Amino acid sequence: MPQRSRFTLLTVRGIPIGVDWSWFFVLFLIIWLLSSYYRDILGSSQDSLEPYTLAVLSAFGFFASILLHELGHAVIAQRNKIGISSITLWMFGGIASLDQEPKSAGAEFRIAAAGPAVTLLITALCLAVGVAVDGGDFWDGAVFDESVDISTSVAVLAWLANINLVILLFNLLPAFPLDGGRIVRSIAWRVTKSRDRGTIFAARLGQGFAYVFVAFGIFLVLTGNLVGGVWLALIGWMLGGSARASANQSKLNTKLGGLLVADVMDSDPVTIPSGTTVDRALDEYFMRYRWPWFPVVDPGERFVGLLNRGTADAVPEPIRTSQTVSEILDPGGSVDQTVKSDEPLESLLANLELRRLGGLAAIDADGRLAGVITLEQVGRALRDATAGSSP
């Protein structure tokens, strides 16, 4: 999904929640379709605002359900010490962007199953409240019987129960990268003892489902259901592309042959002591080496942070001789600027900070700087792996 069209609405548990511009298209489409549905079951006139009000409430209830589904993934991922860079709602639902892949089959299963579990709870809650309000009419509304006379609250609950049931069943399809496909990957991973082999198996299964979706979508278009057919074909196309990309990524990981960050990094980088003044850092490091940033270490060689030229230049000249580099570093920025030296190299392939900064500090188990790994070094290792030579 293209990130350039995304904008943030709010932050939950430190996770930016945003929407893609395509979300508005689906929002208005749902409101348009539901307003007609509610007008029929309520017997409202064309100029009545009630069907539109219910349609708007239902549409936002639908997207709230999607958001809660993704938050389910996010919360469990955080409990498994995996960061979430963002959650985005878009035309095909929602996506929680994990900072890294789960490190075990069990973690993969828990994260994948969390979303459907939340959706199941939402469905059950809508059913329970609907039955409590008006049991008989609720079930008639749940099967979309437009002839039944039901209240507005029951109509909305019935629709939300239905749509969440659809979300649940769809996400549980064993088509990678849907939640069901990720559950299949976790099982295959556990059986084969290899994440890459598990991913390739699940991705091929996902590609098979993608072909079925596209074929059935074309069939629906030919039989007169243009909107449903095109929508299903688009979903199949998206699933197929994602599954194919995941399979190719796993094949590349296999070619990397278990390389670690320590195998590729520069183990003797130039560092700036944390007590160095800003004035001296500019003269003795930035002016001398002409590099955009340097790792800063304390007296025990523990990594403190990456100091870039812009941050140093921003310090007013009168205080550069008295202010140390450690005082101008972002206190919380060092976490995203590091990678463990014993991490598999493949863990960096989707690292956004590596792409943004051009390099990361490699630290050991005690937090001491072990080296620096750059985007160029990772790229060279990938080229060697795809060429079949030893990096």
> Both 61 and 160 in a single domain?
yes
Q: Does residue 188 belong to any structural domain of this protein?
A: no
Split at pLDDT 50, 70, 90, the class of 238 is confident
Q: What is the DSSP letter of 284?
A: I
Q: Which two tokens stand for residue 9?
A: 């609405």
- pLDDT, average across residues 313-336: 84
Q: Does residue 210 belong to any structural domain of this protein?
A: yes
Quote the pLDDT of residue 248.
76
> Both 381 and 270 in a single domain?
yes
- pLDDT, average across residues 16-43: 84
Quote the pLDDT of residue 138.
61
Quote the pLDDT of residue 144.
52
- pLDDT, average across residues 234-240: 87
pLDDT at 391 over 50: no
pLDDT digit string (tens) for 182-214?
Answer: 999 999 999 998 888 898 899 899 999 999 999
Q: Where are the beta strands (DSSP E) in 291-358?
A: 293-297, 303-308, 338-340
Among 105-114, 232-241, 306-315, the range with the most confident prediction by mean pLDDT is 105-114
pLDDT at 322 over 60: yes
pLDDT digit string (tens) for 57-90?
Answer: 999 999 999 999 999 999 999 999 888 888 888 8
pLDDT at 262 over 80: yes
> Both 270 and 237 in a single domain?
no
pLDDT at 3 over 60: no
- pLDDT, average across residues 311-322: 91
pLDDT digit string (tens) for 337-380?
Answer: 888 888 888 777 767 778 888 889 999 888 899 999 988 888 88
- pLDDT, average across residues 275-294: 92
Tally of domains in the chain: 3
Q: Which two tokens stand for residue 82?
A: 């995996």
- pLDDT, average across residues 96-113: 89
What is the rounded distance in angstroms from the CA atom of residue 64 to the CA atom of residue 266?
47
Split at pLDDT 50, 70, 90, the class of 5 is low
Q: Which residues contact 160 (CB under 8 A, 6 or more apart)?
A: 58, 61, 62, 65, 122, 126
pLDDT at 285 over 60: yes
pLDDT digit string (tens) for 111-155?
Answer: 999 999 999 999 999 888 887 877 666 666 555 555 556 677 778
Q: Does residue 183 belong to any structural domain of this protein?
A: no
Q: Which two tokens stand for residue 222?
A: 């030919």
Q: Which two tokens stand for residue 322?
A: 């008295």
Quote the pLDDT of residue 294.
93
Q: What is the DSSP letter of 265?
A: S
> Both 16 and 81 in a single domain?
yes
Which parts of 338-387 fold into alpha helices (H)? 352-357, 375-387
- pLDDT, average across residues 320-336: 80
Q: Does residue 213 belong to any structural domain of this protein?
A: yes
Average pLDDT, the chain: 84
Quote the pLDDT of residue 135.
62
Quote the pLDDT of residue 353.
78
Strands 369-374 and 6-12: unpaired
User: What residues pair up with 371 in beta bridges, in sequence order?
Assistant: 362
Quote the pLDDT of residue 168.
94
What is the rounded distance in angstroms from the CA atom of residue 274 to the CA atom of residue 326?
5
Q: Does residue 323 belong to any structural domain of this protein?
A: yes
Split at pLDDT 50, 70, 90, the class of 280 is very high
Quote the pLDDT of residue 27.
86
What is the rounded distance in angstroms from the CA atom of residue 381 to the CA atom of residue 282?
32
Last residue within a domain, chosen from 138, 172, 206:
172
Q: Does residue 178 belong to any structural domain of this protein?
A: no
- The DSSP annotation for 80-129 comes to TT--EEEEEEETTEEEEEESS--SSHHHHHHHHHHHHHHHHHHHHHHHHH
By three-state DSSP, how is residue 305 classified? strand
Q: What strands lie across the sheet with 338-340, from one edge to the other?
A: 338-340, 359-363, 369-374
Q: Does residue 187 belong to any structural domain of this protein?
A: no
Last residue within a domain, chosen from 204, 225, 256:
256
> Both 151 and 252 in a single domain?
no
In terms of pLDDT, which residue wins out, 186 or 27? 186
Residue 203 lies in domain: 193-256
The answer to whether 267 touches 371, Cβ cutoff 8 Å, is yes
Cβ-based neighbour number of residue 193 at 10 Å:
9
What is the rounded distance in angstroms from the CA atom of residue 102 to the CA atom of residue 247?
16
Quote the pLDDT of residue 390.
45
pLDDT at 235 over 70: yes
pLDDT at 270 over 50: yes
Q: Which residues contact 383 (CB under 8 A, 6 or more apart)?
A: none
Split at pLDDT 50, 70, 90, the class of 2 is very low
CATH of the domain at 369: 3.10.580.10
What is the rounded distance in angstroms from the CA atom of residue 102 to the CA atom of residue 77?
8
By percentage, how much of the chain surpasses pLDDT 70? 89
> Both 239 and 218 in a single domain?
yes
Distances 164 to 51, 63, 157, 159, 202 between C-alpha atoms, Å? 21, 10, 11, 9, 25
- pLDDT, average across residues 92-99: 82
The beta-carbon contacts of 157-162 under 8 Å, at least 24 apart in sequence, are: 157/126, 157/129, 157/130, 157/133, 158/126, 158/130, 159/34, 159/37, 159/58, 160/58, 160/61, 160/62, 160/65, 160/122, 160/126, 161/123, 161/126, 161/127, 161/130
What is the rounded distance in angstroms from the CA atom of residue 295 to the CA atom of residue 268?
11
pLDDT at 102 over 60: yes
The answer to whether 237 touches 214, Cβ cutoff 8 Å, is yes
Distances 321 to 276, 290, 315 between C-alpha atoms, Å? 9, 20, 10
Cβ-based neighbour number of residue 240 at 10 Å:
20
